[in-house]
Amino acid sequence: MRIMALDIGETRVGVAVCDPGERVASPVCVLPAAEVLSCSKPFRRLLEDWEPELLLCGLPYTLAGQEGPQAARIRAAADAVTKACGIPHEFADERLSSQEAKRSLREKGLGEREMRGKIDMIAASLFLQAWLDARR
């Protein structure tokens, strides 16, 4: 089954997918949040290209394991995307995924400006990979 991960932010949404065998997660792109939430043409094209059967949305938890302050907004956004595109969703713990993505990009020599468009899709691939690994 192909799974598409969405790292839903206020401005951008990072997108990652896994292979049909559910072994490897790969970053795909970053889209404006408004395009994803309204299921506009660029997002629909992504859905057509990758044909996911499930959307895995990152849910921010605190270090104490409770849902963070943005969780209600993420839950509402995920519901809206599912309603607009008809693909069911689940949630995954995205705690520290953005920090890990930044660390990874810094190690590759990228500066803050160069990282801006990449962090969200890398974070999506990280929490998707962790979710896949936990299911095995």
Number of C-beta neighbours around residue 53 at 10 A = 11
| Alpha-carbon distance values, 101 to 24, 49, 88, 111 (Å) | 16, 25, 26, 13
DSSP H or E stretch at residue 100? helix 97-107
Pairing of strands 12-18, 25-32: antiparallel
End-to-end CA distance of the chain: 14
> Which SS3 state, helix, strand or coil, does residue 110 take?
coil
Average pLDDT of every residue of the chain: 91
- The per-residue pLDDT for range 74-110, each reduced to its tens digit, is 999 999 999 999 999 999 988 777 788 878 878 888 7
Instruction: Indicate the pTM of the whole model.
Output: 0.91
